[in-house]
Amino acid sequence: MSEDWTEAYRPKGLDEVLGNPKAVRDLKGWAEDWEKGNPSKKAAVLIGTPGTGKTSAALALAADYNWDVVEMNASDQRNADAIRSIALRGALGETFSNTGEYLSSKDGKLKLIVLDEADNISGREDRGGVPAMAELVRSTKQPVILIVNDWYALSRRSSALKNGTLQVKFARIKAPTVRNVLGNIARDRGIKISDNALEILAENSNGDLRSAIRDLQALAAGRTEINEKDTISMGFREVEQTMYSVMDDIFKRMDPAEARFRLRDVDESPDHKLLWIEENLPHAYRDHMDLYRGMKAISRADDFLSRVRRRQYYRFWAYTSDHLSFSVCAAKQKEIRGYIRYQFPMYLMKMSRSKASRALKNEISAKLGDMAHMSIKSAKQDLLPSFMLLFQRQEEFRLNMIIDMELEQEEIAFLLGAKVDSAKVKRAVADAKKLVNEHSSPKNNKIDVEKKAEPKSAPNQARLFSF
């Protein structure tokens, strides 16, 4: 299998260049102008990351319009001088062939000059590559295409290049397009590939179609069928699984081994996995015996989980996961049909809600601790309760503290035991602001300075923080 699939499936015409319709349209327009003999820009730059079809588009364009092509890799040292001569000959309307012979243009055929990796020439400033390219763009009698990954670096160095070219951007190829291309190639090669495997390859390609096709070819070596496990065993990162995405595998399908495989891939802690299955089991299994066996499997999973905790036998995590997937899946007698509305575990929801207020409490305690020279922990335990009482009951104290501790609206709400957007909280914020403004107006400058230092030394605060 010496054949290179990326070459075998290179687009033959612009219509086969996928994923960047605007780029293709712009290129066509540019080529038409050349055909009519009056291009507004004599050169086009194709800009984009590798594997998005830039080289293919240039070649496809030449094929569509029946132009000759002179292709050069600008990053090749040996070509630096050649580019300069091309620039020279371009001015005369003559070009090289691939083998270095002159091609005269008297037959009227246009000759597309393609400078691939044109941004790599910019590394060699001393060799005059950029000026040569700019000269080529300025003086050429033939269409020129520059291909670059990083246009910014190059255009910065030459405004002649920047202004003399039509810039055509090639975006990364979207995953569904990559998936389609791979699917078509697989079909063409008589290879069965699963949707999941296609998905993994497409996601892994990150918009680089060339590498996606390479991956597919590597996977296809010696196989007639490709599934998810093959892709993973070849080292491809699996698409991140969420608990939502494995629910159906566990509760609806009848393939426990697959369910086990899928759940193991989910990046969640075993106790979270358990909460998910526990929450959703009763929604899924309506048959009493199914439900009974499912609950038994979950309780076994829970046993292993507590053994992990008690004895630090982390190996048991695997059993937890297997009972949750394999056993729960196998607990039902037949496939479950219809839509199931899966729920996020209630317990986790409550915990995450209280997490925010716990964090808030810690923040306020830290500020308090700073002022009172106490640890966060003792500020939280000993100081916060009485501080909250004072804060709620005494307006002056409240406003001073808001200013002095630079309390945020959420913190104020927490201390007042009110909602963040309640009138009470808003009023406290507004009053504090007013107080600050009053004291920071120019004529009150002095008071402002005193005021800032005041709360700590004011009698009531002194009492609060000096015990």
Residue ranges that bind ligand ADP, judged by CB under 6 A: 6-7, 9-11, 16-19, 48, 50-56, 173, 209-210, 213
Q: Whole-number minimum distance, CB 116 to Mg ion, in Å?
A: 6
Distance of CA 250 to the CA centre of its chain: 28
Q: Residue 54: what residue type? A: K
Of residues 55 and 461, the one with the C-beta less far from Mg ion: 55
213 binds, among Mg ion, ligand ADP, none (CB under 5 to 8 A by kind): ligand ADP
Nearest residue to 340 (alpha-carbon basis) of 248, 241, 245: 248
Please, which residue, 216 or 298, has the CB nearer to ligand ADP?
216
Residue 369 binds: one of Mg ion, ligand ADP, none (C-beta under 5 to 8 A by kind): none
Cα separation, 120 vs 151, in Å, equals 10
In terms of C-beta distances under 8 Å and separation of at least 24 residues, what long-range contacts does 283-291 make, across chains too? 283/340, 283/341, 283/342, 283/343, 284/247, 284/251, 284/252, 284/336, 284/340, 285/251, 285/331, 285/332, 285/336, 287/332, 287/333, 289/333, 290/331, 290/332, 290/333
Does the footprint of Mg ion cover residue 120 (CB under 5 A)? Answer: no
- 128: tokens are 């005059």
Q: Which is nearer to Mg ion, 55 or 280 (CB)?
A: 55
Instruction: Select from Mg ion, ligand ADP, none the partner in contact with residue 18, using the beta carbon and a kind-dependent cut-off of 5 to 8 Å.
Output: ligand ADP
Residue 151 and residue 45 in contact, taking contact as beta carbons nearer than 8 Å: yes
Nearer residue to Mg ion within complex by CB, 55 or 140: 55
Closest CB to ligand ADP belongs to which residue? 53
Considering the complex, state which of residue 48 and residue 164 has its C-beta at the smaller distance from ligand ADP.
48
**Contact between 122 and Mg ion (CB under 5 A)?**
no
Q: Which amino acid is at 150?
A: D
Helix runs in 243-345, H state only:
243-251, 256-265, 270-284, 288-311, 316-322, 328-330
Tell me: does residue 56 bind Mg ion (CB under 5 A). Answer: no
- The span of 49-57, 161-169, 205-213, 334-342 binding Mg ion (CB under 5 A) equals 49-57
Query: Binding partner of residue 11 among ligand ADP, Mg ion, none, CB under 5 to 8 Å per kind?
Result: ligand ADP
User: In the complex with Mg ion, which residue's Cβ is closer, 55 or 165?
Assistant: 55
- Nearest approach in angstroms of CB 229 to ligand ADP is 26
Of the listed pieces 54-62, 341-349, 419-427, 430-438, which binds Mg ion according to CB under 5 A?
A: 54-62
Residue 34, judged by CB atoms within 10 A of its CB (0-12, 13-18, 19+), counts as: buried
Tokens for 427, please give them.
């009023």
Nearest to 79 by CA among 43, 132, 126: 132
131 binds, among Mg ion, ligand ADP, none (CB under 5 to 8 A by kind): none
Buried b (16+ CB within 10 A) or exposed e, 237-274: ebbebebeebbbbbbbeeebebbbbbbeebebebbebb
Q: Tell me the C-alpha distance between 321 and 314, whole Å.
A: 12
Partner that binds at residue 325, options ligand ADP, Mg ion, none, CB closer than 5 to 8 Å by kind = none
| Single-letter amino acid code for the residue at 131 | P
Contacts of 269 (CB under 8 A, 6+ apart): none
With respect to ligand ADP, which residue has the nearer C-beta, 60 or 284?
60
**CB closer to ligand ADP, 8 vs 254:** 8
Which residue number, 221 or 423, has a Cβ lying nearer to ligand ADP?
A: 221
Of 55-63, 258-266, 365-373, 454-462, the window that binds Mg ion (rule: CB under 5 A) is 55-63
- Closest separation between CB of residue 129 and ligand ADP, Å? 20
Q: In whole angstroms, how close is the CB of 55 to ligand ADP at the nearest point?
A: 3
Shortest distance in whole angstroms from residue 209 CB to Mg ion: 11
Binder of Mg ion out of 20, 55, 205, 320 (CB under 5 A): 55
Neighbours of 328 (CB within 10 A): 31
Do residues 39 and 30 make contact, with C-beta atoms less than 8 angstroms apart?
A: yes
- CA torsion 253→256→257→262, rounded to 10°? 60
Minimal distance, residue 206 CB to ligand ADP, in Å: 13
- Taking the complex as a whole, the smallest distance from the CB of residue 195 to ligand ADP amounts, in Å, to 21
Using CB under 5 A, list all residues that contact Mg ion: 55
